[in-house]
Structure 1
Amino acid sequence: MLDWLGYRKELIGRIGDIGKLSPDTLRGYQTLSGAGEKTGHLDAKTRELISLAVAVTTRCDGCITVHTGEALKHGATREEIAEALGVAIAMNAGAALVYSARVMDAVTAHSAG
C-alpha cells in the first residue's frame, strides 16, 4: 500500500509549486473547495465523507489522502467512512449499469442498420 502521509506531504509541495507558477489556478481551486463551508448547510464531517466517496469515484489518490485526514480530524469514524465508501461503490455500480443499458441501445441501433 501507499505511504499516505508521505504522499500527502509530497503532493502538497508539488501543488505549492503549481501555485507559484499559476497562482490564479490555485486560488480558483481554493475558492471552489471552500465554497461549501460558507453556506453552513452541511457540517465539515459530512462534506469530508462526501469528498471521500467522490475521491473513490474519480480515482484520486491525492483526494483520498487529504480528505481521509480531514474526515478523521472532524470526528468521522471508520464505520462512517466505510458507509460513505459503500455509497461510492453503489454509485459506480449504478453508473456501470446505466452505461450497460446505453451499450445495449447502441447494439440495437447497429443491428437495425
Structure 2
Amino acid sequence: MFLNNWVEVLKKNRTASATLLEHHPKLMSGFRGLNEAQGGTGTLDAKTRELIALAVAVTTRCEGCIASHAQAAKAAGVTEAELAEAMSTAIALNAGAAYVYSLKAMDALKTFQQA
C-alpha cells in the first residue's frame, strides 16, 4: 500500500503550474533556471544531490518536492537503504530543530514574564 499516488502528485503539480506560468512567466523562468543550475559544478554526484533534496523536502514538508526528487532519485540510482539513511538524518535534524526552537519559545516566554 502506498501513502500517496506520487506519480499523480507530480503530474498534477506540473499541470497546475501552467496557471502560474501564464500569470508570472518571469518567475517560472527563474525557478526553472534555479533548478537547472543546481548541481552545475559537478562537485556532488546526482545521487547525493537527490538524497539531500529528499531530506530537505521531508523537513520542509513539500509533497511536490518529494514526488519530483523521488523520481530523480530513482533515475540517479538511489537505493531504499541509501534513502533510509538520508531520512534518518532528516528526522534527527528536524527533531533537533524542534529542540532548538523549543528553547527559543521558552526564552521568549521568560522575556515576557520579566517585562
Q: TM-score scaled to structure 2, two decimals?
A: 0.89
Shift of 1:44: 0.9
Specify the alignment match of 2:110 in structure 1. Answer: 108
Identity value in percent: 45
Matched, 1:77 2:85: no
- Per the TM alignment, residue 66 of structure 1 is displaced from its structure 2 partner at its CA by 0.7
Cα deviation for residue 33 of structure 1 reads 1.3
Amino acid at match of 2:33: T
Which residue does the alignment assign to 1:46?
48
Please give the per-residue CA displacement for 1:20-79, whole angstroms capped at 9, x wherever unaligned. 332211110111112222111111111111110010111111001110010011000001
CA distance in 1, matches of 2:49, 2:28: 20
Residue matched to 1:2: 4
* Structure 2 counterpart of 1:27: 29
Stretches of 4+ moved more than 3 A in 1? Answer: none
Number of equivalences:
113
Greater helix share, structure number: 1
Query: How do 1:56-75 residues align onto structure 2 when only pairs under 5 Å count?
Result: 56-75=58-77
Unaligned runs of 5+ in 1: none
CA distance in 2, matches of 1:84, 1:72: 14
Unaligned runs of 5+ in 2: none
Deviations 1:63-111 (A, max 9, x none): 0111001001100000111111111111111111111111221233233
**Cα drift, residue 11 of structure 1:** 1.3
